[in-house]
Amino acid sequence: MKNKREELDLIIQEQEYPNLAFAFYEDKKYVVKNEILGRKLRLRTKRKKNGAYICDVIEKLEDSVFETGTPCASYKECGGCIYQTLSYEDEDKIKKDMLQKLYKSVFSGDIVFHPSLEVEGYRNKMEYTFSDNGDEARTLSLGLHKKKRFYEVIETDDCNIVDADFTKIRVAALNYFKEKGLKYYHKKLHEGALRHLVIRKAFFTKEILINLVTTSDYNIEEDFIQMLLNLNLDGEIKSIYHTKNDSLSDVVQADELILVYGKEDIDEKLLGLKFKIGPFSFFQTNSRAAERMYGRIQELLDEEKLDVLFDLYSGTGTIAQILAKKAKKVYSIEIVEEASKKARLTCELNDIDNVEVINGDVLKVIDEVYERPDAIVIDPPREGVHPKALKKLIDYKAEKIIYVSCNPKTHVNDLKEFIEAGYTIKLVEVFDNFPKTSHVETVALLSKLNTEHHLDIEIGEDELSEIDFSKDATYGEIKKYVLDKYGLKVSSLYIAQIKRKHGLIERENYNFSKKENQRVPNCPEEKEKAIEDALEHFGMI
C-alpha cells in the first residue's frame, strides 16, 4: 500500500496500555491512539509500521456501549481525560485488563487493582498556560493545551478532576489580566509577558499556593495579590510566588523565584506526618490515593525492624519518612536539590532522626553509602532506572525490593532485569491515582529468596569448614573498611582497578571512560594494599 491512503469504518476491538487501540479488517491490523473499546470510527491510514497500519481518526461514527457517562464541556478539545465518557467501573475494568496483559511477561499471578477513593476533584496541582484559543483576534486565554494544538489552549471551566477553587482562581486571574490588557508570551514571536499559572492545594489542610510565571519584563502588582486574597474560596491562600522565566521552552522553570505573599511552603499531612510543598516540589497529585499507596508500602515491610533501608529517587522524602519506623537507618537519595532541602526540613518537623538525606544522582552517590541495605524502595521518574544504577542495585542483593512506578511500560522492562538477576516478583498492585486518564501508579514487591522453591537443611559442625561463606562487598562497604582501618579515602575507580587486577570484574566497569586514549590515574601503592586488605576481609580474594 505504498503512498495510498485508505479510509475505513471500523470498530475498536482491542486496547493496549497506555493508549493504543486496535481495529481489524481482512487480517490487517489498524492502530490509533486514545480511543475507547467498542467505538466505531472512520479511519484514514497514514503508514505501515511493524505489520500494522497507523491511522488518523477522521470522525467518530458510533459511541461504544461502555460510553454511558457525561463528559465535561471541554472533553473533545482537551483530550486529557480519555475515559470521561465511561462509568468508573468500566474504566477500571478496561485498565485492569490492559495492565494484566502488560505484566504477563514478568508476573504470572493476578494483579491487584485499587480504585481511586475520589473520581472527581482529586488533583492537588494544576499547571495552566496563557495563550489564545485559536481565534483571529488572539484573545487572551488561560487553560490547558488543546489536543494536538501546541499553541492554543482551552478554558476548562467545568473541569471535574480539579477542586472548585482551582477554577475560581484561574478565571479570576484571567479576567484580571484581560482588564489590564496584558499579552501572553507568544512562543513563535517571543513577545508578551504572561506564561503560566500554577496552583497547588493541599487536600488535607486546604492550604493553597499560587505561582504566576511571566517573563522578566513584568513585575507583579499589589492589586493582583489583593484580588486573589479577596476570593471566596473553600481553602486558604498561604503562598503567592512570582517566577520570572525568559527561556524559549514551554517548561515551567525559574530564572528568578520571588515570594510575594505568605510563607515559603504549604503544609500537607499524610499518615500522621507533615510535609512541606513548595512551588517546584514533586508531590503525588492525588493526596488521598497517595496516602493509601504509601500505607500499602508500609504493610509490605511489616516485619521485624530492618537495619538499613534505601529510599531511592526519594523526592521530598515522603516514603523515607513514612517508613522511618521500619528501620534503624534510612538513606534517602534524591537528585533535585530543592526536594532534598524539603526532605531535611520535614524530617526535623516530624522529629525523625534516623533518615539521612543525600542530594545527588543515585548512580553517582550511592557508592558513598557505606552500609548494605536489607531492603530497597525505588520510585524513579517515568524513564525508569538508569541501566548502570540498576546493576548497582542488583549487586546489593537486598532480600526485598519495592519498586514503585508511574510508567508501567518502563516498570516491566526494569523488572525483567531483576528477574534475570534471580529476583522473584511476589506481587504487583495497581493504584488508580488518576481517574479518567490513562495514568496509574504501580507497586511491585521483589524477593531474592523464592520461598516456594527452597529447602531447609541442617548442617553439622564438621561440614561448616568446607562451606564458602564469602560475599561480594559493595563499593561503599569497601570504602568504609579502608577509611575506618587506614584513614584513607579511596575512589570507586581505584577499587575497580584492584578488583580487575584480581580477576573480580568480568565486564567493562562503569567507572572506566569510554573515550579513546583516556588517561586513567593508577591507584597509589598505599591505597592498593588497603583495598586488597578489604577484599581479603570480605572473603573476595
Residues at the binding site are 284, 313, 334, 379
**Grid coordinates of 273:** 506526618
The single residue of 55, 81, 159, 406 carrying the catalytic annotation is 406
- Residue 287's H or E segment, with its range, is helix 287-300
- Residue 80's H or E segment, with its range, is none
Judged by DSSP in three states, 478 sits in helix
- Residue 278's H or E segment, with its range, is none
CA distance 523 to 531: 10
Q: 3-class secondary structure for 377-444?
A: EECCCCCCCCHHHHHHHHHCCCCEEEEEECCHHHHHHHHHHHHHCCCEEEEEEEECCCCCCCCCEEEE
Judged by DSSP in three states, 537 sits in helix
Q: Counting runs of H as helices and runs of E as strands, what totals does the chain give?
A: 14, 23
CA distance 294 to 138: 45
Write down the residue that cell numbers 504470572 correspond to: 108
CA distance 184 to 502: 64
Annotated binding-site residue numbers for S-adenosyl-L-methionine: 284, 313, 334, 379
Burial of residue 453 (number of CB atoms within 10 Å: 0-12, 13-18, 19+): exposed
Judged by DSSP in three states, 296 sits in helix
Judged by DSSP in three states, 50 sits in coil
- Residue 129's closest CA among 146, 153, 162? 153
Active site residue 406: yes
- Residue 87's closest CA among 74, 101, 71? 71
Active site residues: 406
